[in-house]
A = this chain, B = another copy of it.
Amino acid sequence: VVELGIGDDMAVLKSPDDQLLITTDLLLEGVHFDLTAATLEQVGYKAMACSLSDCAAMASLPLAAVVSVSLPQSMSMTDAHQLHTGLQKTAQQYNCPLVGGDTNSWPQSLTVNIAMLSRPAGITPVRRSTARPDDFIFVTGSLGGSLTGKHLTFTPRVHEARQLASNLQLHAMIDISDGLSQDLHHICIASNVSAILEPDTIPISLAAQTSPDPLHSTLTDGEDYELLFTLAPDQLPALTELQNQLDVPLTRIGRLIEPDKTPALFLQQKDQTLKPLIPKGYQHFHD
């Protein structure tokens, strides 16, 4: 697919489909990773994997990526090489070649930006805005506690998303980067629906099970990079069948309803009453 790679003013790609998808993700040292806890190869992995997770969230197939890096002047060429190794290995693993780059040196911290292209490859991109009342809400994998390590080692659900979208009529999908409550809220706002979560059903990761408040952790930690998707109840039999072919568990955690004026989230209590849930997660801006 690459007609002209790194080394000219721009890379030239074959564009196999009529449609094309693009995303950009910036990782900042001290915000998205900590070089006392992560190797540079892990940072390279995470940078690619975050964008691959965006491709997954649209059920699209990764096509190519470009990377921009600001290297601290204190970093050696060996350091830069390790970062590159992490990027390159992941690019190969997901068949998403790095076709361009811009590397700069400066006296401040490491930043890594990935812009990634993907293509529908036969599957209509799954949006956030097309969820419907009465949909069931599902997640892949388990949630919470990502900071203890998973935020560096998660598997972007590219394969699973393609499997889900080609076998089921998904109404909406997003990857959980900000946190379950906040990303579910994004779907609710975009689709004008409200959501009821059943707390006992939310799959809690091992890392979150030892946290002071495991449920809170699953709702707000973020950086799970699992898929959150909604579908009509009549898709359940097909989903059950598909589950056997997937290595990752699919768990129903709630349902969507018509909004009462504005989209909102609720936790269903043991007595079946609904308790409002304020969406919370990692926020870069506080108004």
Segment at the B interface, from A1-9, A138-146, A265-273: A1-9
Given known A12-B125, A128-B9, contact A100–B22 (CB-CB < 8 A): yes
Cβ of A279 < 8 Å from any Cβ of B? Answer: no
Q: How far is the CB of A53 from chain B (nearest CB, A)?
A: 8
Given known A18-B14, A54-B9, A174-B9, contact A68–B25 (CB-CB < 8 A): yes
A119–B63 Cα distance when bound, in Å, is 16
**How many A residues have CB within 8 A of the partner chain?**
62
| Interface residues of A, dominant DSSP | strand
Cβ of A260 < 8 Å from any Cβ of B? Answer: no
A55–B26 Cα distance when bound, in Å, is 23
In the complex, what residue of chain B is closest to A172 when comparing beta carbons?
B8
Cβ of A64 < 8 Å from any Cβ of B? Answer: yes
A175 in contact with B21 (CB, 8 Å)? no
A26 in contact with B118 (CB, 8 Å)? no
Given known A104-B28, A111-B70, contact A22–B99 (CB-CB < 8 A): yes
Chain B residues with Cβ under 8 A from A113's Cβ?
Answer: 24, 26, 68, 102, 113, 115
B9 in contact with A22 (CB, 8 Å)? no
Give the residues from 1 to 55 in chain A that come closer than 8 angstroms, CB to CB, to chain B: 3-4, 7-15, 17-26, 28, 30-32, 54-55
Q: A22-B117, A24-B115, A117-B117 are in contact. List 4 more A-B contacts (CB 8 A).
A: A8-B129, A24-B102, A30-B107, A105-B284
* Leading 4 A-B pairs by shortest Cβ distance: A115-B115, A9-B57, A26-B68, A24-B66
Chain A residues within CB distance 8 Å of chain B: 3-4, 7-15, 17-26, 28, 30-32, 54-55, 57-58, 60, 64, 66-70, 77, 99-109, 111, 113, 115, 117-118, 125, 127-129, 174-175, 190, 284-285
Instruction: Pull 6 A–B residue pairs with CB atoms less than 8 Å apart, ordered by A.
Output: A9-B23, A10-B60, A22-B64, A22-B66, A23-B66, A24-B113
